[in-house]
Structure 1
Amino acid sequence: MEDSEDMKINSSLYDALMKRDDNKVLEICASIPKGPLHTVTIHEDTVIHIATYQKQNDLVLNLLNMVRSSDSHKLTWQNNSGSTILHETGTNNRTVSAASEMLRRAPMLLSMINKQGETALFYAARHGKTKIFKFLHSEVTRTNLGPDLKTFLMRDDKSTILHLAILSRNYWMAHDIATKHKRLMNDRDEDEMTPLQLLSCQKLETCSTNVFVQMIYNLIDSNVEDTSLMLPLLKKMRKKKFACEWAKKLIKLLVQNDISWEKTESRQSKHRAKFHQYGKFSSIAQLEETAAAYETASRLPDTPLILATKNGCKEIVEEILDQYPQAIEHIDQDGRNILHVAIKYRNHDVFDYVVNRKYAKERLRGKIDNDANTLMHMAGEEVEDVNADLKGPAYVLQENLKLFKKVKNICPVLDDFKMNSKSKTALQSFYENNKQRREIAKDWMIESAKNYTVVAVLIATVAFAAEYTVPGGLNSKTGEPLLKKKTLFKFFTISDAMSLSAALTSVIMFLNVITSSYRFQDFEKSLIRKLNIGITMLMTSVAMLMVAFAVTLILTISGGRKWTNTALYVISFFPVVVFILVYLQAEKNHILDVFKESKSALKHIVSMFANKKPKYAAGYTGRYVSPAHPPLDI
């Protein structure tokens, strides 16, 4: 009977707590023996635990007032995971005053740990809650000094509050901890990861490069704490700007003090470069056995530079190389340098940054890894990125081909003939790894071209028919259009003719795609160019057909009144505007690529005219002639 009664009480209390019915909670607590210290969940959480977790600060203060001074020691109750009521304040920023009252009544709560070895301060760092962290940290430093601080800064698995602040992505808190507790910057967790290595595994949020968004960012004060009057969008932007600013400060601070960058793997490779298939080679079975054993062995973390390259964190790469340029020669446990890793993980920004650095390209371009893979071999490999944009397989293959060519341009000529441990040159490895993708890309392009052709033929049919059923009809005597002299009629004729012409052009391009040979090199330029031209012509055809429809509507229905004409213009051209916006959004990457190529070509032309050849004295042939060695005839 007692169990049944407890079940009813727990059910009522839990329901009232979830519904935030403070009066009902206080009423029930006043009627039961344990009051607010009554355990209400199967995990032994008290009423105060749940109210604190629910961020109900006023309710928590009222519940604490219900506890007699003589029972203050009972406030140290721990639930099944070992968390106290003070631990629960670390999950939010709204119970700071409640935490202050808890410590006034039971100061021992500050140093109590849960079953993971976490104090309330550590708990706040794990949840990334700034205000409660500030309060608890001030309480800890006020009452504890020297060796006693270790309990508050580190838990049982060697993770520190700095590790957890980084994992919670609260970069201000992490910077504050690193500044006040400098020794934590080189502490390693149970996986031998330093805070900088842990930060290097995260893809940091960066502020938008859009000009208009940047203007808004510049107007926002990221350090303002009261955001109650801000619009939701501005709040989100302020939060992002705040995170970006403190992430940069944290990176600079950790790179200056972290020493994990100094340790790298030995450069000595297990394989020498080979240029033919003869001689001593390990069998495939031996290679697979070695690879399997290597995979099962525990791996030590890579240096921050390699980790940042793998995870596309360019900011950390730049900061490390700016402060320690010699770190460019780091290699991972597979013997791969930063360029190997950047190519394999398709981090083009890091690759371009390293290649453009002074001396870096010359030092790294001819190196091989433990499996004798050159940089070009890495272009044939690829690590799947779940966050990458989903593109057509033909476009992915095109990007891989461009990358291979880009990497080849920086590699020594000998790398074309070097074989890896599987007796494959870079080109053979690339073709083998992309063979299936080529088949998928071929089927995708043929199917897409067929579908586009059907649409293009339908549009051409409509445009052709419209030419002979002109708006307003024909003069029965002369056969000429009745509205021939109107300006809008000329717009109709031009747009309809353009629609028909563009549709037929797109049909030709799509048929050309269908009948192509589909060699690897065709995917780099010709096939994709044909498909893009066909799609562009098809889109142009649709746009012109929309214009023709709009003009027809205005010519035949216009009532002569200004407001009706305006309404007709808006209604008629609305599909055209929507189409243009959607098309530009979908094709923005292609448009940006064309813009970049045009910009680089223009810069090259300007540089040719700007860097004029120096004028030489009469008789100068442009070649140095040594008195002892006359020039060779070439």
Structure 2
Amino acid sequence: MMQASAHQLVYRLWKALEDENFSSTAVQYHMQLLLEAAQVGNVEFLVILIRSYPDLIWQVDNGYGTLFHVAIKHRQEHVFNLIYEIGVLKGNLACVCTKKGNNMLHLAGELPSLDRLNIVSGAALQMQRELLWFQEIEKIVPKSYVNMKNTKGKTPRDIFVKTHEELQKNGEKWMKGTSNSCMLVAALIATVVFPAAFTVPGGNNQETDIPIFLESNWFTVFFISDAVTMLFSSSSILVFLSILTSRYTEKDFLISLPRRLALGLATLLISIIGMLIAFTAACFLVLKSKTSVPIRIIVGAPAVPISLFVILHYGLWLDIFRSAFCSKRFLFRSQNRLFKQAS
């Protein structure tokens, strides 16, 4: 309700300003306010103003450029996405340069502030996000601007490589550390479940050498979950091993490494769940004659570590899977807000 009230307040104040001999010169006096709104990502504020006065899109500040230049510099994707709603005219905005000779691609090559960089977890995912920004702006600016030099004689690629060198190294270090830790867990799981397939609960019949609980449904659950755990833990080890042996080029950070990490974590989670299901099935087989409350609690205990694993790693999982499979769709897309009729 406070957000809706704030929007109504901005709308009415802007209308009152228009009634007081509003002209293009008035816009220039409020340019700093608009730039600050773009810097912090207050897209709702900008939408209200641009709907009332569309010429705000074309206003240029000598030091900062347009609103979209500020959005790129501070990685405010919600503000930048407004550029997709003005059609082919966005090419004119892409030709604007700041007083230092920086075009949009130069700004995309610079490293943003830490608060904008840390909106995703892990240096590797941050590097991927920066690459996505640079590639997207590269599609918008004229081709001659890709290798254009600013007043310091730097091209956008020169700036990107220089400013992101440390981030790329940290991304490689973070990816290897995460892979090593997860691969260790997967190896421990594989070590546990492999002998469990041959030392089944209840043992074997001494005369026939057939498992005693072979006909039990819980024995089937135990054996299948044990086999699934072995399969997925082994797969997880191989996936994380492929991450450790990667070349760690820019292209690897863009698609390959995030998807490998997502696949490795998914197979690791499945192997953990399978191991706990196998434990539960073994408890039912051995203690099926026991119906006391403590036994039931022990049998249901595996739900606790599964829940903890999901809850404690929810944020990291969300960042990894979104970066691996739908990061570009989440970052750059038209939201049809600018010229949509206000409710």
TM-score category of the 2 structures, normalised to the smaller one: 0.7 to 0.9
- 1:420 equivalenced with 2:150 (yes/no): yes
- 1:457 equivalenced with 2:216 (yes/no): no
Q: Decide which of 8, 12, 15 is 1:256's aligned counterpart.
A: 15
Inter-partner Cα distance in structure 2 for 1:414 and 1:323: 34
Local SS of the residue matching 1:543: helix
Local SS of the residue matching 1:351: helix
- 1:576 equivalenced with 2:297 (yes/no): no
Q: Is the 8 A contact 2:124 2:175 kept in 1?
A: yes
Assess, with a 3 A threshold, how the Cα gap between structure 1 residues 411 and 598 changes in structure 2: closer, same or farther. Answer: closer
Residue deviations 1:600-624 (CA, integer Å, cap 9, x gap): 9xxxxxxxxxxxxxxxxxxxxxxxx
Assess, with a 3 A threshold, how the Cα gap between structure 1 residues 572 and 534 changes in structure 2: closer, same or farther. Answer: closer
Assess, with a 3 A threshold, how the Cα gap between structure 1 residues 485 and 378 changes in structure 2: closer, same or farther. Answer: same
- How far the C-alpha of 1:594 sits from its partner, in A, is 7.2
Paired position in structure 1 for 2:136: 406
Assess, with a 3 A threshold, how the Cα gap between structure 1 residues 598 and 487 changes in structure 2: closer, same or farther. Answer: farther
Local SS of the residue matching 2:86: coil
- How far the C-alpha of 1:312 sits from its partner, in A, is 0.9
Q: Is the 8 A contact 1:446 1:514 kept in 2?
A: yes
Unpaired segments ≥5 residues, structure 2: 331-343
Residue deviations 1:82-120 (CA, integer Å, cap 9, x gap): xxxxxxxxxxxxxxxxxxxxxxxxxxxxxxxxxxxxxxx
Assess, with a 3 A threshold, how the Cα gap between structure 1 residues 492 and 262 changes in structure 2: closer, same or farther. Answer: farther
Q: Decide which of 84, 87, 107 is 1:378's aligned counterpart.
A: 107
- How far the C-alpha of 1:579 sits from its partner, in A, is 3.5
- How far the C-alpha of 1:479 sits from its partner, in A, is 2.6
- 1:342 equivalenced with 2:101 (yes/no): no
Q: Is the 8 A contact 1:553 1:572 kept in 2?
A: no
Inter-partner Cα distance in structure 2 for 1:561 and 1:599: 52
Local SS of the residue matching 2:151: coil
Q: Is the 8 A contact 2:102 2:150 kept in 1?
A: yes
- 1:364 equivalenced with 2:58 (yes/no): no
Paired position in structure 2 for 1:509: 239
- How far the C-alpha of 1:588 sits from its partner, in A, is 2.8
Q: Is the 8 A contact 1:262 1:327 kept in 2?
A: no
Q: Is the 8 A contact 1:261 1:304 kept in 2?
A: no
Matches within 5 A, 1:228-627: 241=1, 243-258=2-17, 262-263=25-26, 302-358=31-87, 360-386=89-115, 388-389=118-119, 391-559=121-289, 561=291, 567=297, 570-584=300-314, 586-591=316-321
Identity over aligned residues, as a percent?
Answer: 26
Assess, with a 3 A threshold, how the Cα gap between structure 1 residues 424 and 263 changes in structure 2: closer, same or farther. Answer: farther
Inter-partner Cα distance in structure 1 for 2:73 and 2:232: 41
- How far the C-alpha of 1:504 sits from its partner, in A, is 1.3
Quick check: which has more Rg, 1 or 2? 1
Inter-partner Cα distance in structure 1 for 2:79 and 2:315: 26
Residue deviations 1:575-595 (CA, integer Å, cap 9, x gap): 334444555554234455678
Residue deviations 1:400-456 (CA, integer Å, cap 9, x gap): 001111111222211212111121211121111101111121222222222222221
- How far the C-alpha of 1:383 sits from its partner, in A, is 3.2
For 1:349, give the aligned amino acid.
H
Inter-partner Cα distance in structure 2 for 1:401 and 1:595: 15
- How far the C-alpha of 1:563 sits from its partner, in A, is 7.2
- How far the C-alpha of 1:532 sits from its partner, in A, is 2.1
Local SS of the residue matching 1:357: helix
Q: Is the 8 A contact 2:69 2:104 kept in 1?
A: yes
- How far the C-alpha of 1:525 sits from its partner, in A, is 0.9
Inter-partner Cα distance in structure 1 for 2:316 and 2:247: 28
Kindly report the root-mean-square deviation, in angstroms, between the aligned alpha carbons of the 2 structures: 2.9
For 1:303, give the aligned amino acid.
Q
Inter-partner Cα distance in structure 1 for 2:303 and 2:169: 42
Residue deviations 1:546-605 (CA, integer Å, cap 9, x gap): 1111222222223365978865653343433444455555423445567868999xxxxx
Inter-partner Cα distance in structure 2 for 1:324 and 1:535: 49
Assess, with a 3 A threshold, how the Cα gap between structure 1 residues 423 and 408 changes in structure 2: closer, same or farther. Answer: same
Local SS of the residue matching 1:409: helix
Paired position in structure 2 for 1:198: none
User: Higher relative contact order at CA 8 Å, sep ≥6: structure 1 or structure 2?
Assistant: 2
Residue deviations 1:226-284 (CA, integer Å, cap 9, x gap): xxxxxxxxxxxxxxx3x22211111212222346985567xxxxxxxxxxxxxxxxxxx
Assess, with a 3 A threshold, how the Cα gap between structure 1 residues 466 and 443 changes in structure 2: closer, same or farther. Answer: same
Q: Is the 8 A contact 2:120 2:126 kept in 1?
A: no
Q: Is the 8 A contact 1:305 1:320 kept in 2?
A: no
Local SS of the residue matching 1:536: helix
For 1:433, give the aligned amino acid.
T
Inter-partner Cα distance in structure 2 for 1:557 and 1:583: 33
Q: Is the 8 A contact 2:111 2:164 kept in 1?
A: no
For 1:438, give the aligned amino acid.
Q
Q: Is the 8 A contact 1:302 1:333 kept in 2?
A: no
Inter-partner Cα distance in structure 2 for 1:400 and 1:598: 11
Inter-partner Cα distance in structure 1 for 2:328 and 2:99: 41
Inter-partner Cα distance in structure 2 for 1:553 and 1:475: 19
Inter-partner Cα distance in structure 2 for 1:480 and 1:386: 62
Q: Is the 8 A contact 2:132 2:328 kept in 1?
A: no
Inter-partner Cα distance in structure 1 for 2:285 and 2:329: 43
For 1:368, give the aligned amino acid.
C
Inter-partner Cα distance in structure 1 for 2:70 and 2:23: 18
Matches within 5 A, 1:208-247: 241=1, 243-247=2-6
Q: Is the 8 A contact 2:190 2:233 kept in 1?
A: yes
Assess, with a 3 A threshold, how the Cα gap between structure 1 residues 434 and 307 changes in structure 2: closer, same or farther. Answer: same
Inter-partner Cα distance in structure 1 for 2:276 and 2:34: 53
For 1:386, give the aligned amino acid.
D
Q: Is the 8 A contact 2:124 2:253 kept in 1?
A: yes
Unpaired segments ≥5 residues, structure 1: 1-240, 266-299, 601-634
Q: How many corresponding residue pairs?
A: 325
Paired position in structure 2 for 1:143: none
Inter-partner Cα distance in structure 2 for 1:507 and 1:533: 11
- How far the C-alpha of 1:476 sits from its partner, in A, is 2.1
